[in-house]
Amino acid sequence: MDTAVEVIGQEELDSAWIERSVLFQIKRSQSLLARRFQTRFAPFGVTPSEYGVLLLIATNPGRKQTEIADALGIQRANFVPLINALERRLLTERRPAPQDRRSNALYLTPAGEAFVEKICQAEARFEAECTAQLGGREAREAFLLLLSRLSI
């Protein structure tokens, strides 16, 4: 039986078109990878959004909240509760921005720096598995290039 056809009761379901759909394949991959992320990072109690925020703050300490939110495509109304949660966990802190005291600059706390180091180690293992599934480093780079073209 063709892999694109599944039997439901007595009727065959033709899924060939959807299996060749770029949109569907991206959505399916995103869902599967999100579940794998949740499984892998459950011990850390971190969501993909929190992970992204922590990494951007780690590599860009002192940047304004709005810059971090914009870089990740998180609406400002959703970003504030996210940062509040990270602050409650003592991973981040807000300080007045040096150039604009009306804005907050974001920093990792010492506990946040240690936490980011741990999650980066877990992410490196996860990334290595994904790279292997793609067929190696060159395939990974080609894949990222193709995805970036869809983001324009």
CA distances from 144 to 47, 69, 126, 140, 151 (A): 22, 22, 16, 6, 11
Tally the residues of the chain. 152
- For the entire predicted model, the pTM comes to 0.79
Compute how many other C-beta atoms are within 10 angstroms of the C-beta atom of residue 8.
7
148 or 5, higher pLDDT: 148
Contact call for residues 116 and 58 (beta carbons, < 8 A): yes
CA distances from 11 to 1, 5, 15, 20 (A): 13, 10, 13, 21
pLDDT (tens digit per residue) in 67-111 = 999 999 999 899 999 999 999 999 999 998 888 778 889 999 999
Contacts of 5 (CB under 8 A, 6+ apart): 12, 13, 14, 15, 16
Contacts of 108 (CB under 8 A, 6+ apart): 54, 57, 58, 61, 91, 92, 93, 116
Q: What is the pLDDT of residue 18?
A: 85
What does the alpha-carbon distance between residue 44 and residue 122 come to, in Å, rounded to a whole number? Answer: 10
Q: What is the pLDDT of residue 131?
A: 94
What is the Cα 134 distance to its own chain's centre? 18
Specify the 3-state DSSP secondary structure of 135: coil
% of the chain at pLDDT higher than 70 = 93
DSSP structure class, residue 9: T
What does the alpha-carbon distance between residue 12 and residue 104 come to, in Å, rounded to a whole number? Answer: 58
